[in-house]
Amino acid sequence: MIEVFICEDEDNQRAEIVKYVESYIMIEEFDMQLALATGDPEELLSYVQLSGEGMGLYFLDVDLKHAHLDGLSLAQQIREYDPRGFIVFITTHAELSYLTFTYKVEAMDYIIKDDFDKVRNRIFDCLKSVEERVSRERKDVGKFFTFRSGEKVVHELYDDILFLETTGNARRVTLHGKERQLEFYGSLKELDEQFDEDYFFRTHKSFIVNLDRIKVVDFKTRTITMVNGAECLVSMRKVKELKERISQRKESEHK
């Protein structure tokens, strides 16, 4: 999921930008969320430092009234923690646009606050462009699973999926990823037919596991421990096939 950040110290203008971002994400059902909207650049920088590696979209006011950080120097520091993130400046100072090159922050856009209808449309364009670029990148990087979770269309890389399970409601599936869990409507039978069998295997009526994310299998107790410590079950009739699939997967990795 792409996290969106806003740093604007004028309360009314920040509220407008928040409204534009949240409404467009909801309408277009992008796999994004507004992570933080603040007037304090230090708060944003602390969030980025603590959140680790990611690829965010940042809407930054250039003329922040802060003792040490304006929008340009904030962007420069963000780049240290999020080198692949998307930075958009929103400002009244058209004459300062050249400084984005001086600071070497590779800004995606430089939006002038002369007309908030135009500002809104440019924000929409940026959100759409980032969604499209990240989707293309995911396709280039590797296989991914696309599904609807609530009001969002989610694209999850195979590498980020640990396992899927059903509990209670058979039409409700929980996807366990490296960094998040997501619920959606579906059935493991349908998913088993949809997933690439080189990567995924249905070990039990309630589980589909990513073969590359298995830590250890105890065939006596018929339990699988995944890399995150979670346990999945193996049915008796699936034991032999699971052994074969794990062996095949290891062989393919060494070819």
Instruction: Return the domain boundaries, the chain.
Output: 2-141, 144-253
**What is the structure's pLDDT at 50?**
84
Spatial distance between the Cα atoms of 108 and 79, rounded to a whole number of angstroms? 13
41: three-class secondary structure by DSSP? helix
**What is the structure's pLDDT at 145?**
84
CATH number (3.40.50.2300, 3.40.1260.20, 3.30.930.10, 3.40.50.300) of 2-141 reads: 3.40.50.2300
Query: Phi and psi (nearest 5°) for 76?
Result: -60, -40
Query: Phi and psi (nearest 5°) for 86?
Result: -105, 125
Cβ density class 117-133: b for 16+ within 10 Å, e for less: eebbebbbebbeebbee
**What is the structure's pLDDT at 150?**
76
Per residue in 182-203, pLDDT tens? 999 888 998 998 888 888 999 9
What's 40's DSSP letter?
A: -
**What is the structure's pLDDT at 104?**
60
**What is the structure's pLDDT at 135?**
77
Spatial distance between the Cα atoms of 228 and 161, rounded to a whole number of angstroms? 11
Low-confidence ranges of the chain (pLDDT < 50): none
Pairing of strands 86-91, 57-61: parallel
CA 238 distance to own-chain centroid: 33
Residue 19 neighbours by CB distance under 10 Å: 11
**What is the structure's pLDDT at 221?**
96
Q: Which amino acid is at 187?
A: S
Q: What is the CATH number of domain 144-253?
A: 2.40.50.1020
Partner residues linked to 177 by β-bridges: 161
